[in-house]
Structure 1
């Protein structure tokens, strides 16, 4: 997000080489666990433990945000729908108009191929919530949640229908004096959809003062405890089961295979903690690093995010045009795109500086 600094960049081939190596390690652990299970030597839970144990090393975070773009007013109608995921593809599906109750989807889980040797077949993750509240339209995010009065002015006069809010995490960078259960009820009643963000542990090599960092030895346990904490924070704000919560993972050196392994282990544990409590597990990351690592692992690594919110500052308010990864990944209303940062906009006499997002993914359930 915009309050963090960019790390030094590496050539793309260097970054993806580390991702491929890390995915091979984790996928290999999953294959061994699956083999033990099929021969009567272990359970699915044992397979998950094997995957977590296989991820070692130290990760490198960074932070990021690009330069702000222009403040020209975006425009696109917004809509929302209750959606039901398919059993096989965990895909929220909405009606063509984006409104009303959707029928179950039937698409299979998308498969992303990492660079390097092909991995084993996907290992199934834990069960997901039965339904998701999907919003389709323009959204914004800003570091501190605006007052309900300011939100009301923007809802009446602006193009946005959803707002992202930082609900918790030890690395959350901004105070949230407005963000209470009462505020959530008020802005939800005023027509807003909310996107909860949880700023979890960051990789240890980040050049910052983040108080919570993961390591190879703590990734699994920290991911589980942070996932439980994210749900507790969401529940305290009135964001109930079937909500999506998005884990904010800032940029890091994905050329370091040990780093990628540790981060993926943390993400897996965080996701499982949310699923166990009936929440959708979303993920926010950068197309050049943190999101790329997840995208390259998807399809060969279990328990990865249900929805992807990717930062790519191309000015395009779309979740399909210019999608930077395999077109089959996170289809069926499971994508958000942060396409511009630092836009200063005024609606209803209220001026805010926001990051702009195109949204077609699950959000919080508040009613």
Structure 2
């Protein structure tokens, strides 16, 4: 099949979802117009790492896997369990590489991933989002894994490393994440690298805690100082409501006040609760693929129907026409997602 990489959101997610589903369904694909509308179109090191890693797990035949390529042919082979190490070579997101590979390795029979690159970088799920938000919801669906951060990696150098120990997947089950989200517990994590002033992490934490308490939410606050090849800071805020999870993370930058970093994490957390959603908009996109592969129905409410979500549904429909994905609502507004999966495990 041929997939237009410029459709919808037009980013790397089209490629990552196609790679996973090609290997799981054994359907080859050609991806054209890869990231055509982006300032730097075509495959970047982050995307090439996903292609090469997926090809290695599944003994795939690939052509067009070159930096800047806008046309890729991928012919899947047989998945193999085992231990794999992949180094992106830049500050490319290890979180996005993990999300390309985790289902493949689980369905193959399990194994271990060591992924090197950026662990907390822009435009991607950071390590703590995976560990505290994404993985607990996947675990409720039947997925088993343990994540560990060995080194932090911030932009521009990267140099981080995460370990993922993934168990064999016997079955994926749909879940109902009913709104509203009412946290039993809210956690705040304020982190700075050891080469930055210590007052930054204190100010980040104090501002986050103040905003949450003003909203009537108690929270557990943790402060950490870590080593990394590049200086960096971040604030994470996440909550738990039975099997439901919501989380937001914000990165520091030169010239950005510590208080603003905290605000960028806390405010969307509070807005998602006010929207009476049951997941955050990032999780809404990220669990769509496992939901489409699960037995039974999955239901959740997103605070915002994003173009990422709509595009992901479009790509999934190419490989899994039997899966029924219904997204109720308008782009940019609160909406319901209902998925009747087609299990392949």
Give me the TM-score of the superposition, normalised by structure 2.
0.25
Of Structure 1 and Structure 2, the greater strand share is in 2
- Relative contact order (alpha carbons < 8 A, sep ≥ 6): 1 or 2 greater? 1
Of Structure 1 and Structure 2, the greater helix share is in 2
